[in-house]
Amino acid sequence: MSINLLQRHVLEDHISGFETDPNPNHLAVVRRPVIFSVLAHAGHEAAVAEALKAASDLAPRFCGPSEWLAVSQTVGAETIGGLLSNIPGASFADQSDGKVLMTISGPSVRKILAKCVAVDLHSDVFAEGDSANMLCCHVAANVARTGADTFEIIVPRSFAGSVFDELMEMGREHALTRGFSD
């Protein structure tokens, strides 16, 4: 048996054992997402925000004033890097290896996240497409709402194990299952 250590995901040991069929409440770990951090130069904040919103194959995640994460699950790092270098007044860096992207979805997702996040996630306040940095399971994470009952959580790689375990613990009463998304 050959093991490809280069492609080994940090949560590989947490998602070992038999694989069950996903329940309605499911935590999916994206194996190789592309995540860039983007900073706008002074005076270019609005232009860069517009360009990121208009870009295809790329989802901007708000971190703070003139700071975003550019996330893509469809195209590679070279494409996103090329795309970002065409935006005037923006600096960027590839963070794909340092971040872990998890997608939590299902009818009970807000009940689960209410135990992890101290922020109001009602759709009136945190609408679809909104994203922000916040404490999630005691870790500074970026949380985004990508659907009515779907959230994406980006955490630093070294904290991913603890966040993953806590999410699973909080989802136990809602029969949360887990697995790699591909």
Shortest reach from residue 105's CB to other proteins, in Å:
23
Q: Which of 15, 75, 132, 168 binds other proteins (CB under 8 A)?
A: 132
Encoded one letter per residue, x for contact with other proteins by CB under 8 A and - for no contact, window 34-73 reads -----------------------------xxx-x------
SS3 18: coil
Q: Determine the interface stretch with other proteins among 33-41, 98-106, 126-134, 147-155 (rule: CB under 8 A).
A: 126-134
Burial class (CB in 10 A: 0-12, 13-18, 19+), 168: middle
* Gap between the Cα atoms of 111 and 19, Å rounded: 24
Q: Which of 46, 93, 140, 148 binds other proteins (CB under 8 A)?
A: 140
Which structure tokens are listed for 87? 């935006």
* 77 or 119: CB nearest other proteins: 119
Stretch that binds other proteins, among 45-53, 76-84, 132-140, 153-161 (CB under 8 A): 132-140
Contacts of 32 (CB under 8 A, 6+ apart): 7, 96
Contact 70, 59 (CB under 8 A): yes
CB of 133 to other proteins, least distance (A): 5
Report the alpha-carbon distance of residue 181 to residue 164 in Å, rounded: 14
Which of 1, 124, 125, 182 touches other proteins (CB under 8 A)?
125
> Considering the complex, what minimum distance in angstroms separates the CB of residue 43 from other proteins?
14
Distance, first Cα to last Cα, the chain: 20
Residue type at 75?
Answer: V
- Residue (36 or 176) nearer to other proteins, CB: 36
Q: Which two tokens stand for residue 49?
A: 């925000």
* Smallest distance, other proteins to C-beta of residue 154, A: 13
Q: What are the distances in angstroms from CA 46 to CA 52, 60, 128, 152, 159?
A: 10, 13, 21, 24, 32
Judged by CB under 8 A, the number of residues near other proteins is: 13
Q: Applying CB under 8 A, which residues contact other proteins?
A: 63-65, 67, 118-120, 125, 132-135, 140
